[in-house]
Amino acid sequence: MGTGRRHLIVVSNRGPVTYAREDDERVARRGAGGLVTALRGLVAHHDVTWIASAMSDEDRVVAAEGVVEESLGNGSTVRLRLVAHDEVAYDWFYNVVSNPMLWFLQHYLWELAYTPTVDIALKHAWTDGYVRVNEGFAEAVAEELEAEPETPVFFHDYHLYLAPRLVRERAPDALLAHFVHIPWPQPDYWHVLPEGMRLAVHDGLLANDVIAFHADRWRINFLRSARDLAGAECNFVDYVADYHGRRSVVSVHPISVDPVEFEELAQSEAVLAAERDLVERRPEQLILRVDRTDPSKNIVRGFRAFELYLEAHEDAHGRVAMIALLDPSRQDIPEYSEYLAAIQREARRVNDRFQHNGWMPVEIVMEDNFPAAVAAYKQFDVLFVNAIFDGMNLVSKEAPLVNERDGVIVLSENAGAFEELGDWVVCVNPFDVAGQAEALDRALSMPAAERRQRIEAIRAHVREHDIVAWIEGQLEDLDRCSAHIT
């Protein structure tokens, strides 16, 4: 395939922009989430056709116009093809199957004695929602491939497990790659799903030439479940899975960020203004967390751990506080709105117990405000990431890049980022709240020289393993596959 600019097809549920109509004019807003941010880097270096779901009413109008050229503001342009799914089908796809089922399964979020119940409603949502939306995506990809059969296709994430098989049936020689951005659980956990569903997930993924993960831990689990559930012949040394006469390469490419973009952003007017605001009210020592309000992020236990820390360290009262910048997420799903309420309840409880003389231990800021997050990245003394499970966790890579206080990263052993950053962080078990309280103490009282040495090592690692390295690694996989096929 050679180096230089390439034509690529990217397929993800969320697109790089979403459209709205304001004062009778169409406006494009940046799509939310870490995946979209990372993939925008791909668009800067290659000619990308991006296929995504139409989410807003205006997106549907755009979808009806066919492929549109959209500028992404960083000098790059994407060919955007929005797919307008049936609205009821999309609701089942996103709000019943993708998030409460697949996301919960892959992050081990159920309490199996009580949830989930696989009932007729879920089965309908699967057939008339998840399957249909995947068919819609596959149709759009197949049409693009008819015009340019050689173009490699990059599927992203758990929304699209069925699409690769459907595309493969129509374009047997297509070059297909799939990046799974979330953890892959152990094989037995997949047995919560009825056989037809769990097999369809694995069968769909195994239609790809490349299947990639952020961490080796997820790759090994995938190879095990491809073997145990789908009967694929898996090689755990060369990391390949042979299935129905085809070979899939199973690779690991930890996603990263663009360090230059963050360093520039840190000096932007919007961030400096947010930072001035934060500096005025910051405590002597600031513990920061930045999360979507997702049960996998373990925010409630995080507050409990901080409570235990405050219980044991009266000298910290009035001096140490936690700021939680929380982005409300997936609020049409009851499990998510209930979790958001639990977060607020828990913060309130800790504050009611300890606050005095104007000092409040926990401040929750509930908004999607990237400049405010970057300002807080500059100011933290401890960054607290205690996720139950997390495919990667980009916050733990972004924040150290711009931090100006030699802050310490407290990181869950179950975040994909731990595989890379483990030597330089304070490790926590996400369920052990007493251990998290001790970790907070250790981080808050770490000697200056050790703090500096740790954060500099993290920065050097992220600068070397940046977003360009992530993208190049995937293209190299594709080159290996196309060399093998031709």
Cβ contacts of 9 within 8 Å, gap of 6 or more: 48, 49, 50, 51, 141, 144, 145, 151, 152, 153, 154
Residue from 283, 391, 400, 407 binding ligand F6P (CB under 6 A): 391
Nearer to ligand F6P, 137 or 309 (CB): 137
Of 206, 213, 197, 194, whose CA–CA distance to 231 is shortest? 206
Find the part of the chain contacting ligand F6P (CB under 6 A) among 31-39, 160-168, 369-377, 474-482: 31-39
Cis peptide before 116 (omega within 30 of 0): yes
Would you count residue 16 as binding ligand F6P (CB under 6 A)?
no
Nearer to ligand F6P, 328 or 435 (CB): 328
Give the 3-state secondary structure percentages of the chain, helix then strand then coil, rounded to 5: 50, 20, 30
Find the part of the chain contacting ligand F6P (CB under 6 A) among 21-29, 30-38, 233-241, 452-460: 30-38
Nearer to ligand F6P, 318 or 328 (CB): 328
Nearer to ligand F6P, 107 or 165 (CB): 107
Would you count residue 181 as binding ligand F6P (CB under 6 A)?
yes
Residue from 251, 296, 329, 393 binding ligand F6P (CB under 6 A): 329
Provide the mask over 346-385, with x wherever binding to ligand F6P is found by CB under 6 A and - wherever it is not. Answer: ----------------------------------------
Supply the minimum distance, in Å, between the C-beta of residue 97 and ligand F6P. 12
Supply the minimum distance, in Å, between the C-beta of residue 329 and ligand F6P. 6
Of 141, 133, 54, 52, whose CA–CA distance to 94 is shortest? 133
Measured at the CA of 346, the angle between CA 345 and CA 347, to 5 degrees, comes to: 95
Residue from 58, 59, 144, 157 binding ligand F6P (CB under 6 A): 157
Contact between 182 and 217 under an 8 Å Cβ cutoff? The reply is: no
Q: Identify the residue whose tokens are 């924040």.
A: 399
Would you count residue 32 as binding ligand F6P (CB under 6 A)?
yes
Nearer to ligand F6P, 248 or 293 (CB): 293
Residue from 34, 318, 328, 371 binding ligand F6P (CB under 6 A): 34
Contact between 155 and 363 under an 8 Å Cβ cutoff? The reply is: no
Would you count residue 14 as binding ligand F6P (CB under 6 A)?
yes
Residue from 182, 201, 274, 481 binding ligand F6P (CB under 6 A): 182
Q: How far is CA 429 from CA 110, 179, 385, in A?
A: 18, 27, 10
Nearer to ligand F6P, 34 or 116 (CB): 34
Q: Look up residue 106 and give its amino acid.
A: Q
Token duo for residue 316: 């910290």
Contact between 232 and 206 under an 8 Å Cβ cutoff? The reply is: yes
Supply the minimum distance, in Å, between the C-beta of residue 137 and ligand F6P. 15
Nearer to ligand F6P, 32 or 427 (CB): 32
Residue from 81, 132, 330, 465 binding ligand F6P (CB under 6 A): 330
Contact between 404 and 429 under an 8 Å Cβ cutoff? The reply is: no
Would you count residue 325 as binding ligand F6P (CB under 6 A)?
no
Find the part of the chain contacting ligand F6P (CB under 6 A) among 27-35, 135-143, 262-270, 467-475: 27-35
Nearer to ligand F6P, 32 or 270 (CB): 32
Q: Radius of gyration (Cα) for the chain, nearest Å?
A: 23
User: Three-state SS for 131?
Assistant: helix
CA atoms within 13 A on the CB side of 242: 4
Cα–Cα distance measured from residue 352 to residue 348, given in angstroms and rounded to the nearest whole number: 6
Contact between 374 and 266 under an 8 Å Cβ cutoff? The reply is: yes
Cα–Cα distance measured from residue 45 to residue 471, given in angstroms and rounded to the nearest whole number: 9
Nearer to ligand F6P, 385 or 440 (CB): 385
Q: How far is CA 307 from CA 73, 299, 346, in A?
A: 43, 13, 10
Residue from 33, 41, 407, 416 binding ligand F6P (CB under 6 A): 33
Would you count residue 35 as binding ligand F6P (CB under 6 A)?
yes
Binding site for ligand F6P (CB under 6 A): 14, 32-35, 157, 181-182, 329-330, 391
